[in-house]
Amino acid sequence: MMEWKYLLCPDRIRDCKGRPGSGDLRTEFEKDYHRIIGSASFRRLQDKTQVFPLDRSDFIRTRLTHSLEVSSFARSLGQNVSEMILQQVKDESFLPSYKADVCDILQCAGLLHDIGNPPFGHFGETVIRDWFRKRMPLLMWKGKPLTEVLLPQMQEDLYHFEGNTQALRLVTRLHYLVDTNGMNLTKGLLGTIIKYPVASTQIDKESGDIRTKKMGYFYADREVYQEIQRSTGTHGRRHPLAFLLEAADDIAYKTADIEDAVKKGCISYEQLLQELRVYGDGKQDETYQRLTELLSCRYERAVQKGMEHPRANAVQNWLVRIQGQMIQSATRGFREHYEELMAGRYKKDLFQGVPGTGILDALGDIAYRYAFHTPAILKLEIGADAILGFLLDRFVDAVIPYDSGEPMTGVQEKLISLLSDNYRAVYHVHAKGKDEAERLYLRLLLVTDEVCGMTDSYAKRLYQELGGIQ
C-alpha cells in the first residue's frame, strides 16, 4: 500500500529550504503555485490552442484558460476527497493537515498538466509523432540510419511523443530558474502529474490498465523519474492524485468543448439535446436521462425569464450543473475504489461504473463529430501540419551534425543559433560524458523542446519568415 506521508512528499530534487527567520510562511506546495504562475512557460499557454487554432474570439478557450479551469476543478476534488477520507474512510494515516496539501498539489497539477503541449492543440502532438515515424528511417548519421544508432526506447520516445511527458521534462529540466533542475517543484506534485508511469517501450493500449495507455517519461529523464518514484513510494504505480487530476481534466474539456462549439455555431441547442437523447442507443441509466432532460428544463426557464439568448443561456447553465455533478461522481468513484487506488491496483478512470457519468462520454463524442471535424478546423490542422513539418525538417537537419565534430553548413549554424539559449545550455549539461547515440538522441529532443516551447503565433510567424512567405 502507498502511504500518504510519502505521496505528499514536500522535498525537491535540489534542496532549497528557506533560511530560518526569513519570514516566508508559505508551505512548500504554496511555493510551487507561485513558481508556476510566475513562469514564462505558463504564460505562453495563453497563445496555445485548446480546440480552435488561432481563433480571434476572446470567448474561445486557450490552453491557459483550460488549465485554470482544470486547476479549479482539481482543487474542488481535493477538498471533497480529503473530507471523504477523513469522515467516511477514516484512514488514520491521512492526517487532517493533509487536506490543505492535497488541495494545493491538485491546484498546481491542474495548472501544469498541459504546460508541455506543442502548438496547435493535440494535433501538434500527432504531427510530431507522425513526422518521426515517417522520417526517422530516412535520416542518416555517419552512414547509418538513425534507427540503427538510437536505442529502442530513444526511438519509441519520439514515435510516441506526448505533451504530458514533455510537461515533466519542462518543469524538471528546461525551465531555467536557478539551474538545470527546472522549476524544482516538490516531488509530491511531480508524482501527481505523471499520469502514465511507464516507459515508451512499455506502452500497452490493449492491456485494459490506464497506467500503460501512454508513456510517462523520456529516456533522457529516467533518473529524475526514478527519484520521484522512490520519494513518493509509488514505484511504478499511479499516484492516487493523478486519478483526480485526470477526472478534473475530463470534466473541464468535455464540457468546455461543447460550450465553445455552441458559441462558434458548430452545434445548436436543438442538435445537442437530440444527440444526448439518442446517445448510447437508449441504454442510458436513469441519472443520465435525468441530466439530459435538465437541459430542456434550463431552456424553458430561460424563456420564462425572458433571456435574450435562451438557448445559449440554457447550454451554459446546464454545463455548470453537469460539472458539479461530475465532481460528485468522481469523488464517489475515489471512495468506492479507495483500497485499490492506494494499492496501485485500480486500472480504470474514476467515472467507471458511476451512474450518470456516461454523459461525459456523450459530450466528448458529440464535440468530436460537430466541432473537431468542421471544415474550418480541418483546414487549420492541415496548416498546422505544414508549419510543424517544415520546422522539424529544418531544425532536425541542423541538430544532427551539431556538437559532433561533423561539418555543418552556414544555414545549419544559423538555425542552431535560433534555438533557445536555455535549451541549448540544458543539452550541453546533460550531453556531457554521454555516448554518441545518447548525445544524438538529446539533440533530437532539443528540437522537440524548441517546438513545444513555441506558441501558435510564433510557430506560424517563424514558418513564414524561414520559408520566405510574406
- pLDDT tens digits for range 80-101: 999 999 999 999 999 999 999 9
Domain 262-370: top CATH class: mainly alpha
Q: Which residues contact 10 (CB under 8 A, 6 or more apart)?
A: 27, 28, 29, 101, 186, 187, 188
Whether 210 has a pLDDT exceeding 70, the answer reads yes
Return the CA Rg of the chain: 23
DSSP H/E element including 141: strand 140-141
**CATH (one of 1.10.3210.10, 2.60.120.380, 3.40.50.720, 3.40.250.10) for 1-12+28-250+371-470:** 1.10.3210.10
Q: Which residues contact 439 (CB under 8 A, 6 or more apart)?
A: 403, 404, 431
Q: Which segments of 337-407 does DSSP mark as H helices, in order?
A: 338-343, 358-370, 375-399
- How confident is the prediction for the chain on average, in pLDDT? 93
As annotated, the residues of the chain forming the CATH 1.10.3410 domain(s) are 262-370
- In single-letter form, the type of residue at position 107 comes to Q
Do 283 and 352 contact (CB within 8 A), yes or no?
A: no
As annotated, the residues of the chain forming the CATH 1.10.3210.10 domain(s) are 1-12+28-250+371-470
Rounded distance, CA 221 to CA 284, Å?
A: 44
Question: Would you state the pLDDT for residue 59?
Answer: 52
Question: Would you state the pLDDT for residue 294?
Answer: 96
Do 363 and 288 contact (CB within 8 A), yes or no?
A: no
Rounded distance, CA 2 to CA 235, Å?
A: 9
Tens of pLDDT, residues 99-128? 999 999 999 999 999 999 999 988 899 999
Rounded distance, CA 349 to CA 330, Å?
A: 9
Q: Which residues contact 443 (CB under 8 A, 6 or more apart)?
A: 399, 400, 402, 403, 427, 431
Tens of pLDDT, residues 232-280? 999 999 999 999 999 999 999 999 999 988 988 889 999 999 999 999 8
Taking the model in full, what pTM does it have?
A: 0.94
